[in-house]
């Protein structure tokens, strides 16, 4: 034994060979004792049983597919009343915010001496008519030339024009409402001097009230003139109306089309400039109503519903038709679907499941 130790000490390569041989024997023993693939599969099956889920059978109904738009209310029309003659404001008869009817007097301007000028013009007109009639009678008898008759007729027409001009000036010295509406603003007071073209007031027509919104190019083909629509104001008030205008050219940059929805507003209770949602019915489709609690996400983060078909999970992305306070209507689930209502967060698309509905 002593001689063997001395030999190993003198030849260290034998030590390395012995150590290597021991390692090979130890590794081989590990492979021989490793479990088989079948054993591993069985262990996985035993530790990961099939998931259990609770489902319910849901049936589709025919519902209207609505498109929701966001817009704002606007007046049906707006008019700015301006002075048509020069003059000083001598009377104001309508206050801001008051309802006015077509022809109601808003303000009066000083007529100055136009009444006197009109009286003189009418007297002169009477004289010209007498002169023309006399010359015309003499012309028929052959005592007047055609030139005299033409001059008398020109004088008569000039007098008539002067009367008309003065009557129009007096009429325009009174500013009136051009249509039924609301006096939204008035920028003059008694004593203001106005020149022709100066602004006096702004009249807005709120009957009907108009909702203006924009429809995408994918939905515009389903929108028609006269089509019924509803709207919900920011205050929560619900109103109904119809589409009265559809733009024929899309807006640059957004590729959306402007539409107008006219809503009845006989008492002017609805105001212009309010924001709201507009709901336009496009067509009827088959949809199933579910509560948001049964929705789930797939591996890519898409929102949808998980259903069971032949004991396997199938993920269906949402195609929302419309939403209500107690749920949403989804298309794409067929006429009937077995929807997972519990356990949907623990299974994936394609997983085998056991349905438990007790």
User: Strand locations in 162-274, DSSP E?
Assistant: 174-176, 181-186, 193-194, 199-205, 209-216, 228-233, 238-246, 256-263
pTM of full prediction above 0.85: no
- Helix then strand count (H, E) for the chain reads 5, 22
* pLDDT recorded at residue 95: 93
Tokens 């998980």 sit on residue: 306
Spatial distance between the Cα atoms of 127 and 298, rounded to a whole number of angstroms: 98
* pLDDT recorded at residue 246: 96
Spatial distance between the Cα atoms of 246 and 109, rounded to a whole number of angstroms: 42
Choose which CATH entry (1.10.10.60, 1.20.1050.10, 2.40.420.20, 1.10.10.10) describes domain 51-63+285-355.
2.40.420.20
Architecture in CATH for domain 79-204: Beta Barrel (2.40)
* pLDDT recorded at residue 5: 52
- Domain regions of the chain by residue span: 2-34, 51-63+285-355, 68-76+206-282, 79-204
Architecture in CATH for domain 68-76+206-282: Beta Barrel (2.40)
Report the DSSP pairing between strands 51-59 and 353-355. parallel
Two tokens at 129?
């008519």
Spatial distance between the Cα atoms of 227 and 218, rounded to a whole number of angstroms: 17
Residues in Cβ contact with 277 at an 8 Å cutoff, skipping those fewer than 6 apart: 68, 69, 70, 231, 232
Q: Which residue(s) pair with 199 in the sheet?
A: 82
- 3-state secondary structure at position 112: coil
Query: CA triplet 247, 242, 257: central angle to 5 degrees?
Result: 20
Q: Are 66 and 287 in contact (CB under 8 A)?
A: no
Spatial distance between the Cα atoms of 114 and 172, rounded to a whole number of angstroms: 11
Q: Which residue(s) pair with 91 in the sheet?
A: 108
* pLDDT recorded at residue 248: 94
Residues of the chain with pLDDT under 50: 1-2, 4, 8, 30-47
* pLDDT recorded at residue 4: 47
Q: Are 239 and 231 in contact (CB under 8 A)?
A: yes
Same fold flag, 68-76+206-282 and 79-204: no
Neighbours of 129 (CB within 10 A): 15
Distances (CA, A) of 130 to 16, 126, 154, 213, 253: 150, 6, 13, 65, 70
């Amino acid at each position: 034994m002593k001689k063997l130790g001395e030999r190993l000490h003198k030849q260290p390569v034998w030590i390395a060979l012995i150590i290597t041989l021991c390692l090979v024997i130890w590794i081989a023993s590990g492979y021989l004792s490793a479990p088989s693939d079948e054993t591993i599969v069985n262990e996985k099956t035993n530790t990961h049983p099939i998931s259990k889920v609770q489902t319910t059978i849901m049936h589709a109904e025919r519902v209207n597919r609505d498109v929701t738009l966001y817009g704002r209310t606007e007046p049906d029309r707006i008019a700015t009343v301006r002075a048509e003659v020069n003059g000083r404001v001598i009377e104001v008869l309508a206050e801001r915010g008051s309802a006015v009817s077509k022809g109601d007097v808003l303000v009066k301007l000083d007529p100055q001496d136009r009444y006197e000028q009109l009286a003189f013009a009418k007297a002169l007109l009477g004289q010209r008519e007498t002169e023309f009639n006399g010359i015309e009678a003499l012309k028929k008898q052959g005592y007047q030339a055609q030139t005299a008759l033409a001059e008398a007729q020109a004088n008569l027409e000039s007098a008539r024009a002067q009367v008309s001009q003065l009557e129009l000036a007096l009429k325009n010295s009174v500013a009136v409402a051009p249509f039924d509406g609301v006096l939204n603003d008035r920028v003059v007071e008694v004593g203001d001097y106005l020149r022709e073209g100066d602004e006096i007031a702004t009249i807005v027509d709120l009957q009907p009230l108009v909702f203006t919104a924009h429809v995408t190019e994918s939905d515009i083909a389903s929108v028609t003139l006269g089509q019924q629509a509803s709207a919900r104001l920011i205050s929560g008030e619900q109103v109904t109306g119809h589409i009265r205008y559809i733009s024929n050219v899309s807006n640059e940059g957004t590729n959306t089309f402007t539409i107008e929805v006219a809503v009845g507003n006989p008492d002017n209770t609805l105001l212009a400039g309010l924001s709201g949602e507009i709901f336009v019915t496009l067509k009827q489709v088959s949809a199933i109503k579910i509560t948001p609690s049964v929705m789930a996400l797939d591996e890519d983060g898409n929102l949808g519903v998980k259903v069971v078909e032949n004991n396997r999970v199938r993920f269906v992305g949402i195609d929302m038709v419309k939403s209500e306070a107690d749920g949403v209507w989804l298309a794409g689930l067929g006429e009937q679907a077995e929807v997972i209502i519990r356990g949907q967060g623990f299974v994936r698309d394609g997983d085998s499941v056991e349905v438990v509905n007790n």
